Structure 1
Amino acid sequence: MSAAMIKEFRLPDLGEGLTESEILSWKVAVGDTVALNQVIAEVETAKAVVELPSPFAGVVTALHEQPGTVVEVGKPIVSFEVEGDDDGPAAAGQAPVTPKREPNLVGYGAVPEGSGRPARRARTFASPVAGPAAAAPAAPTATEPVIEPVETGAPAARTGPASAAERPRSTPPVRKLAKDLGVELTAVTGTGAGGLITRDDVRNFVGGGDLPAAARALAGAEGAVGAARGMATERETRTPIKGVRKLTAAAMVSSAFTAPHATEFLTIDVTPTMELLSRLKASRTFEGFKLTPLTLVAKALLIALRRQPSLNSRWDEANQEIVQYNYVNLGIAAATPRGLTVPNIKDAHSMSLTELSTALTSLTETARAGKTSPAELSGGTISITNIGVFGIDAGTPILNPGEAAILAMGAVRKMPWEYRDEVALRQVMTLSLSFDHRLVDGEQGSRFLADIGAILADPGMVLAMV
């Protein structure tokens, strides 16, 4: 009979050399029996939210990290009691189990000393995690602050009123509010980061009945004035820079200061395209498909790329080469609850209009649900951003790193327009094309944009282009 043993599961690299991930939630608790590949946690990388499967079948003995904590790759996150004496994925040199929505977990292993990776950031979490040697703590009550976990050697978070020997942590506006209300801050429990006393802490203290009615009335009036002005009670709101926002910021800065951007604009009469769109929607061939102006703009871009392939390339600085793609992974900028992402449609160049419509619909729904995988965010070759959905006519889009061009499509508006030597009310759109001037000359960029415009102004022009 095999003896039981403890196995540790270390956080793997969830794709493309990512160095850390945030534990969003645990799907298991200490003492739970789990099966191989059962989802045990939901983690967020800089690119996507990923469900993490169990690499073992056994009993959970410890959860080493709290939800809300950013963990370095290679750090233990969960321990299991398993039967058998063979080494599992936690052993060095073996690949861990593949998570859902991601083909492989790479870079798995302990973090070497002196790797220069940033220290783990501990933050407030929604529910505590029990360790193997201690019972799970009770959930905090409404009047009991959640204790923020801290690193060894760091100052402990304040869990009660400040002592008289130390000055309570607060901001000048909070100290003024406390003075106006006659509140002694040393008696107030701070619930902000690191025990910081906030306006709400002071008002809650007053509302608890420890002060005269006049002071409580003043506190209520102060809060009402802020609410009436449509402002938050705090003067500032601070949000940690992490996840998609952190990756997007780094990518945009790198792109803006690495690739020499050039942007061109073209305003066109897209009435024929909008009329075509209406006919296609009414056609039995496209029944059940979601067709939008974006679908037709994307198809026009793919056709124009055949004539100007330099727009579908990248600059390889390390090897001093220009890499031209013979396929198109079409990126679509998507605004999601997690921030801006640019998932891409693989091999879009080979798709029919119905296939492209299906792919766009799936991509959009997945992005809005926050389920886009790292694989879907990698490998794009050229991108489209639809700023028209926000009522914007034109802009200067920043290149997605590693791509030569990005097209922004503006809103379709009814405007007076020259049509057959007369002024008529027509549907007009502005296209904005940004390109990497190292890869694309002005002539190539202009011809590419003109080709897209020609197709949208007269869809029949496709016959002369393909």
Structure 2
Amino acid sequence: MTQDTSLRFREFKMPDVGEGLTEAEILKWYVQPGDTVTDGQVVCEVETAKAAVELPIPYDGVVHELRFEEGTTVDVGTSIITIDVAPGSADAPAEAVVETPVAPAAEEAAPKGRQPVLVGYGVAETSTKRRPRKPAAGQAVPDRPSPEAASTYYPQAPAAAAVQGELNGHGGTATAGRPLAKPPVRKLAKDLGIDLATVTPTGPDGVITREDVHAAAAPAAAPAPVPVQAQPEPVQPEQVAPSAGGARETRIPIKGVRKAIAQAMVGSAFTAPHVTEFITFDVTRTMKLVEELKADKDMAGLRVNPLLLIAKALLVAIKRNPQVNAAWDEANQEIVLKEYVNLGIAAATPRGLIVPNIKDAHAKTLPELAAALGELVSTAREGKTTPAAMQGGTVTITNVGVFGVDTGTPILNPGESAILAVGAIKLQPWVHKGKVKPRQVTTLALSFDHRLVDGELGSRVLADVAAILENPKRLITWA
């Protein structure tokens, strides 16, 4: 019997790892042609307009071809790597077959003209029929990955998930299989030595989140050390042809995070009417409290700094003035008041400025907020912030004071109504109790969307934050 070699090669397509993004740049390949790979192994790192993400391969086999070089921007749905899942068998056809992973049970039951596909591809229209497997005598052909296995790496698009539900007879509910988790979460579990099968998922549709993995790892006496991952080489600027005296210009491609930042800031600046107000005040008591908290056993091992108390002060001010935590819905001509606060923290990274946010920051205690801030900053510095971590923010803090800057006029993060800029804290002469004394002083700047936040509301919020930081006892009395 002759083997059907069309089943020997599998093409892995660029998935939509950013919930609606259309392209991604290949930063680094971790494999080369001829390397053996296993199901779940990370083969490359890509950068979208939101974050850098590592991609695992859903096949066992040998790398046959890398279709794009590092630094290439590839459209979602384009094949990026070919895997030989039956190495050593008959010669391959002229071209490898691009095949969408489908559960074996679904092959015969699939409605004519529709095939369920991986996330970001939608439901593909086709008029072709699948050819049955024709394994060679004495040789087994690896099964195609099931839809459940595929969704382990990336949650499926609604249309594809619905089709798979029909095919498996579960009305849209995923069948039992491997635990659902995104690539960064799967890698985190591997680094911490956590079996995902033992983790209770709390994410949508049974997806395991980072918080679920951390919760499962909490009881462990000593988590496994996290291996240091090789960082991708920075993008080298493209220089113009040098003149006799050397290069006089440097051209840097506008792409990835930088391109997304530019588009978002232009859209925000020319959509929302910005108003910025400033206040300068004495934060000496807050700085003393920071030092006391650093020595507090309940805060041991946590990152304690002025930003922590500024964030807590802003959350209290929002609780006292909830109308500032809102969004402008242009399509429906509505103001959307948020009953939760996802607190964004602007972070400068080698790939540009990103704004991940702390989900439900309003409900966290001070130690919980400190832990969340520490994890957010560490993850951002490592370049491992996920797209999900940067979505759904409601209000943002940007700390320009770390650069020695006194203040600024920050531009709103798209979809939010307010952003607080924190200036440098400096020792300055200040009138205190009728006498001029050296005190710790800073300036805050609050920019807000004047369509839904008027001057009175914006002023109240800024004044409340300053009042709390002048006298941090108000963190208790006003909370």
What is the TM-score normalised by the length of structure 1?
0.71
Q: Which residue of 2 aligns with 1:37?
A: 40
Change (3 A) 1:94 1:255: same
State the shift of 1:378 in Å. Answer: 1.0
1:394-433 superposed matches below 5 A: 394-433=407-446
- RMSD between superposed Cα atoms in Å: 2.7
Match of 2:13 among 10, 31, 48: 10
In 2: Cα distance, 1:107 partner to 1:14 partner: 15
Match of 1:95 among 118, 121, 124: 118
State the shift of 1:82 in Å. Answer: 2.7
State the shift of 1:9 in Å. Answer: 1.6
1:29-428 superposed matches below 5 A: 29-82=32-85, 88=101, 92-95=115-118, 104=155, 106=157, 197-199=241-243, 233-428=246-441
Change (3 A) 1:463 1:352: closer
In 2: Cα distance, 1:99 partner to 1:65 partner: 24
Change (3 A) 1:66 1:417: same
In 1: Cα distance, 2:159 partner to 2:429 partner: 61
In 1: Cα distance, 2:254 partner to 2:158 partner: 24
| Paired residue type of 2:433 | R
Q: Deviations over 1:89-120 (max 9, x none)?
A: 699422356699x85365999xxxxxxxxxxx
In 1: Cα distance, 2:72 partner to 2:354 partner: 23
In 1: Cα distance, 2:27 partner to 2:267 partner: 28
Match of 1:434 among 438, 447, 450: 447
2:155 alignment partner, SS class: coil
State the shift of 1:368 in Å. Answer: 1.0
1:65 alignment partner, SS class: coil
Asked whether the equivalents of residues 95 and 108 of structure 1 are also in contact (C-alpha less than 8 Å), the reply is no
In 1: Cα distance, 2:61 partner to 2:159 partner: 21
Q: Show structure 1 runs of 5+ residues with no match.
A: 110-191, 203-221, 223-232
In 1: Cα distance, 2:370 partner to 2:430 partner: 30
In 1: Cα distance, 2:159 partner to 2:17 partner: 9
In 2: Cα distance, 1:197 partner to 1:449 partner: 51
Q: Which residue of 2 aligns with 1:129?
A: none
Asked whether the equivalents of residues 14 and 79 of structure 2 are also in contact (C-alpha less than 8 Å), the reply is yes
Q: Deviations over 1:229-273 (max 9, x none)?
A: xxxx31100000011110000000000000000000011100111
1:258 alignment partner, SS class: coil
1:458 matched to 2:471? The reply is: yes
In 2: Cα distance, 1:303 partner to 1:82 partner: 57
| Paired residue type of 2:33 | V
Asked whether the equivalents of residues 312 and 382 of structure 1 are also in contact (C-alpha less than 8 Å), the reply is yes
2:327 alignment partner, SS class: strand
| Paired residue type of 2:155 | N
In 1: Cα distance, 2:37 partner to 2:286 partner: 55
Change (3 A) 1:283 1:464: closer
Change (3 A) 1:49 1:419: same
* Pair member with larger Rg: 1
2:8 alignment partner, SS class: strand
What is the TM-score normalised by the length of structure 2?
0.69
Asked whether the equivalents of residues 313 and 324 of structure 1 are also in contact (C-alpha less than 8 Å), the reply is yes
In 2: Cα distance, 1:392 partner to 1:274 partner: 18
In 2: Cα distance, 1:65 partner to 1:397 partner: 39
2:473 alignment partner, SS class: helix
Change (3 A) 1:463 1:26: closer
Asked whether the equivalents of residues 26 and 45 of structure 2 are also in contact (C-alpha less than 8 Å), the reply is yes
Asked whether the equivalents of residues 408 and 432 of structure 1 are also in contact (C-alpha less than 8 Å), the reply is yes
In 2: Cα distance, 1:354 partner to 1:406 partner: 23
1:427 alignment partner, SS class: strand
